[in-house]
Amino acid sequence: MPPADVARVGAAGLVTRPLRAVLAAAGIAIGVAAMVAVVGISASSRAGVERELAAIGTNLLTAAPGRTFTGEAARLPDEAVEMAGRLDGVTGASATGRLDLGVYRSDLIPAGETNGIGVLAVRPDLLGPVGARPADGAWLNEVTRQGPALVLGAEAARLLGVHRASADVRLWLGNQWFVVVGVLAPAPLAPELDTAVLVGWEAARSLLGFDGGIGTVYVRTDPDRVADVRALLARTVSPAHPNEVLVERPSDALLAQEVTDRALTGLLLGLGAVALLVGGVGVANTMIVSVLERRAEVGLRRALGATRAQIRTQFLAESLLLSALGGTAGILTGAVVTWGYAWSRGWPPAVPGWAQAAGLAVTVLIGGIAGLYPAVRAARLPPTEALAAP
């Protein structure tokens, strides 16, 4: 039979029982949709991270004091930032220092209930290298960085319930009131800033007893020279004890997180495969019922001269058509789910072509396997017995 006729004959069986066909196809569709959506969402998430990295850059390095040989906390030289800034290939350098203090909404809150919000003393030129910007209010200026004023990290602002910078908003810090002059937008490459309140370096020294110890040096480099700078950074910021310096590239952490997400993706794909398998069993079941119901038709076709191969082809075509129908619906559903989820997370939607092709291929494979046994069984029906069926 020509392929068009095979498809027509196969479709005829489906059209006569549309509800059953739709339900059987739905099983396949759910499995394929799950798999396509998992791959699509994972790809979209990756595309989102890549786009974010492209926007914020991967050329930020940090240098932090580690531990000395004797296990004590190391201390970077006070001129570490200036030395890092003079390094070839570095376009900007700044630093923060950690204060062992808590910040509170009011002086009535017991000490210790800090919500995990840290206090950082910051150099005035911090925003450029870390790629941060104020979402509201302003950054510390000539005046505010010397007085009782602070800027909130994005997450710290949320935890403290401060949404706008204002002269009326004051926080209790180190036994005095500080005015909130600004709130930062999230800084993906320096998440430690998000959960901190930032005060000027001079104010920290004069008002909060800060010892001037550098906590983290932030270095922004020429994008092509990240590796060169990274190799030299430890020796530059601490020529005497380069082994006590921890150098990191924060964008690596974002990528690493993406890699751990991939393990979860594998698990979800497995679940999708199970759903697909169950869908395949549903198709096989539907086909067996269809063969049983159509024994008279099979017998008639055999009596009128249909060969066993033609009967096999007919039911195999029906099964393939059924699962291809489900597969197509599943790919569309998966793409729509991916699109919706990516849209809600602000990622660029991406459904890889290979996932769609694989979805369809798996579908056809399942349709073939599920249809094989019923088709062979139909072809083996003796014409007389099949004709006798009501």
Partner 1 sequence: MSPDGFAVTATDLVKVYGTGDSAVRALDGVTVGFRRGRFTAIMGPSGSGKSTLMHCLAGLDAVTSGRITIGGTDLTRLRDRQLTALRRDRVGFVFQAFNLLPQLTARQNITLPSEMAGRRVDADHLAHIVDVLGIGDRLGHRPAELSGGQQQRVALARALATRPEVIFADEPTGNLDSRSGAEVLGLLRDCVRGLGQTVVMVTHDPSAAAYADRALVLADGRIVHDLDGPTRATVTEALGLAGVR
- Interface ranges with partner 1 (CB under 8 A): 1, 5, 12, 15-16, 296-297, 300-308, 310, 382-384, 387
Kindly state the smallest distance separating residue 18's Cβ from partner 1, in Å. Answer: 12
Q: Nearer to partner 1 by C-beta: 201 or 315?
A: 315
Contacts of 304 (CB under 8 A, 6+ apart): none
Q: How far apart are CA 355 and CA 106, in angstroms?
A: 55
Query: By C-beta, is 264 or 309 nearer to partner 1?
Result: 309
Closest separation in Å from C-beta 355 to partner 1: 36
Measured between alpha carbons, how far is 115 from 168 in angstroms, rounded to an integer? 22
Q: Give me the amino acid identity at 168.
A: D
For residues 220 and 302, which CB has a smaller minimum distance to partner 1 in the complex?
302
Nearest-approach distance from CB 310 to partner 1, in angstroms: 6
Which pair of tokens denotes residue 269?
A: 């794909």
CB of 378 to partner 1, least distance (A): 14
DSSP 186-232: P-TT-HHHHTEEEEEHHHHHHHS-------EEEEEE-GGGHHHHHHH
Q: How far is CA 185 from the centre of its chain?
A: 20
Q: Which of 16/206 has CB closer to partner 1?
A: 16
- Amino acid at the residue 153: G
Nearest residue (CB) to partner 1, 109 versus 303? 303
Query: What is the Cα 128 distance to its own chain's centre?
Result: 27
Output the six-digit token pair for 107: 């002086």
Point out which residues pair with 178 in neighbouring strands.
171
199 or 316: CB nearest partner 1: 316
Q: Cβ contacts of residue 201 below 8 Å, gap of 6+?
A: 97, 121, 122, 123, 124, 145, 210, 212
C-beta closer to partner 1: residue 112 or 305: 305
Output the CA torsion 288→290→293→294 (10° steps): -110
- Shortest distance in whole angstroms from residue 289 CB to partner 1: 17
